[in-house]
Amino acid sequence: MDGSLLPRRADPLREMVQRFAAGAARHDRDGSFPHENIALLREGGLLGMTVPPEFGGHGMGLSWAAELVGTVAEGCPATALVLAMQLIQHRGLARNTAVPRALRARIAQGAVERGELMNALRVEPELGTPARGGLPATTARRLANGWRLSGRKIYSTGAPALDWGLVWARTDEASPRTGLFLVPMRAPGVRIVETWDQAGLRASGSHDVVFEEVALPEEHALELRSPSAWAAPDADAVAWNTLLIAALYTGVARAARDWLLGFLRARVPANLGAPLATLPRVQEAVGRIEALILTNAHLIAGAAGGGSGATGLGLVKTVAADNAIAAVQEAVALCGNHGLSRANPLERHLRDVLCARIHTPQPDAALLAAGRAALSL
């Protein structure tokens, strides 16, 4: 992921990423949301890049999107996660022909023309991740002229800046259907509860969002099905979710690697009389880091070309996450106390990269699926 797919935006993007990096430590320490980063993405026209040309966007492909997210992650992975979710959701909504075209056009043009931000809100306190199954507690109650939505979502990335939420909910029918409801995030009854206080990605604003009798028009029930009808994964959605996440955390590993190289060149212990970079064992360790990052780049690029299938994509995400974590841990080990000092960014990169395993599919699910496929079970 060397930025080769971003030739016309490479220099402005790199300047933007440097600005993100300059504020990353402050937002991490405060747990504050980087509104200024989102404003820069908006000004750069990056929030509507996966909107198709028919709605005024660029129709950015998966390889391009992975390059972009990975590059942004080098400066601020929390900002990159918000961006990744934006790109994924607009890609999915624009191609969903079950949603009326006029509504798709309205949301897509909002992203292109005004940089409106969107994310899917799926996880709940009792349900956990919907990928593990179960009915959501968030409920849409049918009225004569639309719906009333009530419930609570957790881990709602980007919550402080969202214009739209795609809220996973059930209907109040005798045989409940499930699906996504399009919610204006500043509508009456929508409330953010600032609960996000994690070790990593502290600036992602992944707070709880409470919905209290939020009124929605009929057409904002985007697609409702029986719960069993959602069992088959959408191959395109799986590819975008897994590979943008893999690219994001590979970007964190590159940022850790880059800081490490500067440290090793500059650090001259008195007993050595030369930079740490001159030691063969240090050079070997850096080589291992390079191998892990290079492996991820090839895994992501290859999978972005298509043909992997949901099981293979789950393995790519799992291996890429493990490689990124291993690369940062190797960097920390080389630096000793310097690597864990809050005066240096490496300990933040370590906390951030550990979040890679949390995203769907989690390692146990990905490995179990691959094992069963291999055993034809």
Kindly indicate the confidence band of residue 1, based on its pLDDT and cuts at 50, 70 and 90: very low
Q: Is the dihedral of CA 94, 97, 100, 101 positive or negative?
A: positive
For residues 357-374, give the mean pLDDT.
Answer: 96
- Closest by alpha carbon to 150, among 216, 221, 213, 220? 213
Q: How many Å apart are CA 324 and CA 268, to the nearest integer? A: 27
Give the pair of three-digit tokens for residue 320: 């890429």
Q: What is the pLDDT of residues 67-121, one digit of tens each?
A: 999 999 999 999 999 999 999 999 999 889 999 999 999 999 999 999 999 999 9
pLDDT bracket for residue 233 (50, 70, 90): confident
pLDDT-based confidence at 10, cuts 50/70/90? low
For residue 4, is pLDDT > 50? no
Say what the pLDDT of residue 29 is: 97
- Report the pLDDT value the prediction gives residue 231, as an integer from 0 to 100: 83
Mean pLDDT lowest among 125-129, 183-187, 327-331: 125-129
- pLDDT tens per residue across span 242-264: 999 999 999 999 999 999 999 99
**Cβ atoms 42, 115 nearer than 8 A:** yes
- Statement: residue 283 has pLDDT above 80: yes
Which structure tokens are listed for 73?
């992650």
pLDDT band at 132 (very low <50, low <70, confident <90, very high): low
For residue 131, name the pLDDT band (cuts at 50, 70, 90): low
Separation of alpha carbons 353 and 30, rounded Å: 19
Gap between the Cα atoms of 289 and 219, Å rounded: 50
| Of the candidate ranges 133-142, 167-176, 297-306, the one whose mean pLDDT is the lowest | 133-142
Across 161-177, average pLDDT: 96
- Read off the pTM: 0.95
Model confidence at 232: pLDDT above 90: no
How far apart are alpha carbons 289 and 277 in whole angstroms?
Answer: 14
Average pLDDT over residues 135-163: 96
Query: Among 244, 237, 296, 242, which Cα is nearest to 65's?
Result: 244
pLDDT of residue 8: 46
Give percent of the chain above pLDDT 90: 90
pLDDT of residue 220 exceeding 50: yes
For residue 36, which of 12, 20, 58, 56 has the smallest C-alpha distance? 20
pLDDT of residue 6: 52
